[in-house]
Structure 1
Amino acid sequence: MMAMTTDERPEPSTTAAERDMLEGFLDYHRETLLMKCAGLDDEQLRRAVLAPSGLTLMGLVRHLAEVERYWFREVMEGQELPDLYSTEQDRDGDFHVTDKDTWAQAHETWRAEVAEARKVSAVHGLDDVSVSRSRHAEGFSLRWILTHMIEEYARHNGHADLLREHIDGVTGE
């Protein structure tokens, strides 16, 4: 198997304060996702290679754009925003890519949502509680959201590892 050669991800500090540590790990995992997509063309990024799953690298990027939007803007700040890709008819529309969907569009949307998430995070303390509530009427602290986002990216980066290896044999963390 070929190994990934370019790794420009920001290494999370091993001694940082809690907030810097959480944001460092989240940024690391965000960049890991992009690294898994690097060097592939649109067709490869749309390719579902792990039957019967329809999961694709482009679908993962689109999904994580939705997740960034949801947790930081909708839950933390209470903004009422439409879904980026999902609809009433297709709740998993973020994962369902077509030949018309491009990496440029998915990447630009993801980058924009990450930028907005960073803005939201910057104006809140770790103990600040979200405007939106859970089904149990509990709020979510920014600390919880950052931790959840690390988990979300880490899980999906595992999926991205498998997809990338099946697409072109490239492996790496």
Structure 2
Amino acid sequence: MTPFETCLAALRRPGPAESFFAVLDKALAEVVGHRLFTLLYVAPDRKRVKRLYTNMPKEYPVGGYKPVTESDWHKRVVGEGRAWVGHDYEDVKWAFFDHELIRSLGCESAINQPVVYAGRVLGTMNLLDVAGHYKDSDPVRLEPFAALMIGPFLDAIALDPDIGRS
């Protein structure tokens, strides 16, 4: 089976979303590679995120809502729903406040692939690796996998404690 077919099969199996996320992690490692992989749910108000999955739980733990600030990165990925590729440490430094931690993990390049449904960004798939690892063409290879995340991110919306509050 291809990595995509493996993910499709995992998505169809009953069980917790974390089981599917682990399969997705392995598939994306095969498709484009990564040292660090996280999934961030973006609340509908676009002002909070929640980490749903990480392959480095010590450095990037799952859970807890975190506020986000408006930045050029945020406008592009969350506001416009366009993938962002960072090729080197200067790019990572521009995009992320925690760039020093990222660099300490051996990561100096990144892809942030938005998961978009009906024109709304539901979350992001975040892959990081050594400098120069990613190409501008890599997000196209990730788009089919991002589509598989629509269901899990819609589940996250359903579980968001602030949905429906005024």
Into which bin does the TM-score normalised by the smaller protein fall?
A: under 0.3
> For the pair shown, which has the larger CA radius of gyration, 1 or 2?
1
Of structures 1 and 2, the one scoring higher in RCO (CA 8 A, sep 6+) is 1
Structure 2 length-normalised TM: 0.28
Bigger helix share:
1
Structure 1 length-normalised TM: 0.27
